[in-house]
Amino acid sequence: MSDFIRKNKIYILPFILAVLNILAIIFHFFIDIPFKFEIIPLVIGGFIVIKSTVLATIKKRKVTAGLLVVLALIGTTYVGEYLSGSIVSFMMIFGEFLEDLTMKKTQNAVRSLIQLVPHKCRKKIGNKFEQVSIREVRPGDIIQVIAGEKIPVDGIIQNGQATINEAAITGESMPVDKTIKDKVFVGTLNENGVIEILTQKIGNETILGQIIKTVKSAQENKGNVQKTADKFAEFFLPTILLICAITALLTKDIMRVMSILVIACPCALVLATPTAVVASVGNAAKKGVLIKGGVVIEELAKVTTICFDKTGTITNGTPEVVDLLICDDSKRNEFFNTLAIVEKNSGHPIGKSIIKYLVDKENLDLDNIPNGEFNMLFGRGVNVKLEDKIYEVSNRKIFTDLNNNTNSLSTTENSYHKQICDFLDHEEKLGRTALLVVSDGNILGCISIADTVRPYIKDTLQELKTLGIEDFIMLTGDNEYTAKAICDEVGINQFKSNLLPQEKLDYIKELQSNGKHVAMIGDGINDAPALTLANVGIAMGMTGTDIASDASDITLMSDRIDFLCETIALSKKTYSIIKQNIWVFAVCVNIIGILLSGLGFLNPIAAAIIHNASSIFVVLNSSRMLGYKYKNDTTNNNRLSLQSN
């Protein structure tokens, strides 16, 4: 029984008062009994309302709008309108119950996130793994996770490979294959494989910890609309008391005064913003988007211009092989073997991308590739000396050496020079890195490497236009050729290239001075100043740096920028609901109710019902954001498209 009461305590009091008030209405209007039954719910409800108001006043150390409710209860009791007072107290408690219910749903989302963290894990102690409490894990520990288990920490895979379901963190439904040096995150599920993880972050420092912290603190970061409501509430009490005094002097009717007191309580105004904000932040968190409070939601709803960083935002952030030129198809195997010999032991990102291509696309077995003497050629490329032969992958500066070798001129220059130069020119104009593949002085062909654009970026930009975004601008430190090529590919018609971090900052200031409401999206340390200055800073959390995430107002936990569409739609809907709450259910109802009460059209009972109904409608209106789904969900459509491809 005690467990039942503990789990359902928020329902018990409203239920009891509801039953008592129904009985009070029946006994007041339909069944004559020897005593006034409505005094019972009035005493119970009134005591709770007065107690909570006094405690809130002491805590805040200032007069609160709740004092109007207390005055209304005292006044209705004084004039013998016990049923009015009973309904006032019940509706106040019922409104708070609905607010608590909305908060509880968000808290349940937080609780479900907390439950993603396993209580125990296998920690490496000596030469074996032993099961320990998660509390005994520290950064630097090695943790083993087998198939079917949840990952207990944020870290890097040291050994093994696995298929990880990251839906709880990123909102991405498709599992991701991960292996050595890949990052993994607490609360994600190992669906297949065995991995050993080097622990980097635990507890509140993890990605999941940050999500939980953001949801919990959502109410603390109030929006501008909420600040206006709070300020309005401060002046509301003396204004209403003045109106009551004038009404009493002009009409000599204490019932009108009581009706004004009852209907004027600004409960709906106080609830208008925090209920919508908390519901929206909780909704976004479940989908892998961290929104840091009400101010951010309001600012994002007003954004007209979005500035994008290039690398890791518009592009994937890692180089890939995008094109090949093999001069003589009969030497195709020699071309790939030369690439493998040269890049096998390279630690450079370009070298790694070439090896990845050879293994994934050409099924090359690196174990059969011999090791040679590796040399870095500053400003040019790399080569390997093996069995008195030189194998090289370098830029067009290699022509200088080849032009001094008459033998190579006869075999390569005359036959393939124009074809090679055309390839190099074309790729470099696109902002790509084009390299020649040379085996012992003979050019076998060329390879082009580039940071490729995200496959869904075009659809995302189109969808953002339908959401009211007017301008898209790419800000990058890359050269003009690369910037233009990327913008042409994705459909962005404005860009600024060769920018230092301070120059990105200056450009955003310029946009803001021209009346633009600017959002900045980035993922690197160099983006942090711009993310901070923009009206809304948005970080690509999974691929980005901690500094960028900390500097931002919103973090997309997935590296899918198309999550931005639903986030902007969510903010616009939330902002619309906040304005509905304030102007329709709070201000208009109060003004009309005060006028009708002052003119004698509303008695205290009717005033109580109308006033508290407005508070209930505010909470119900806000709670819609808990289940809000963007009707044009490009995220799901794009996922399906990518899967089919």
Is the Cβ–Cβ distance between 179 and 225 less than 8 Å?
Answer: no
Q: What is the C-alpha to C-alpha distance for residues 475 and 510, in angstroms, rounded to an integer?
A: 13
Residue 460: CB atoms within 10 A of its CB come to 21
CB 470 within 8 A of CB 305: yes
User: Which residue type does 14 have?
Assistant: P
Catalytic annotation, pick one of 141, 309, 553, 562: 309
Task: Give the C-alpha separation, 338 to 332, whole Å.
Answer: 10
Q: How far apart are the C-alpha atoms of 165 and 185, rounded to whole Å? A: 10
CB 146 within 8 A of CB 160: no
Burial of 361 (C-beta count, 10 Å sphere; 0-12/13-18/19+):
exposed
14 within 8 A of 97, measured Cβ to Cβ: yes
CA distance 605 to 595: 16
By DSSP bridging, strand 494-496 and strand 471-475 are: parallel
Q: d(Cα 74, Cα 573) in Å, to the nearest integer? A: 40
Report the side by side order of strands in the sheet with 494-496.
289-291, 554-556, 536-540, 518-522, 305-309, 471-475, 494-496
Number of helical H runs and strand E runs in the chain: 24, 20
The CB-side HSE value for 501 (13 A sphere, CA atoms) comes to 13
Hey, which residues does 556 pair with through a beta bridge? 289, 540
Torsion angle in degrees (nearest 10) through CA of 619, 624, 625, 626 = 90
Distance from C-alpha of 610 to C-alpha of 154, rounded to nearest angstrom? 52
Tokens linked to 105: 């749903």
Locus of tokens 């990052």: 183
The helix, strand and coil proportions of the chain, stated in percent and rounded to the nearest 5, come to: 60, 20, 25
Both structure tokens of 263: 């209907």
The DSSP 8-state label assigned to residue 584 in this structure reads I
238, HSE (Cβ side, Cα atoms, 13 Å): 6
Residue 309 annotated to the active site: yes
Between CA 401 and CA 394 the distance in angstroms is 11
Active site residues: 309
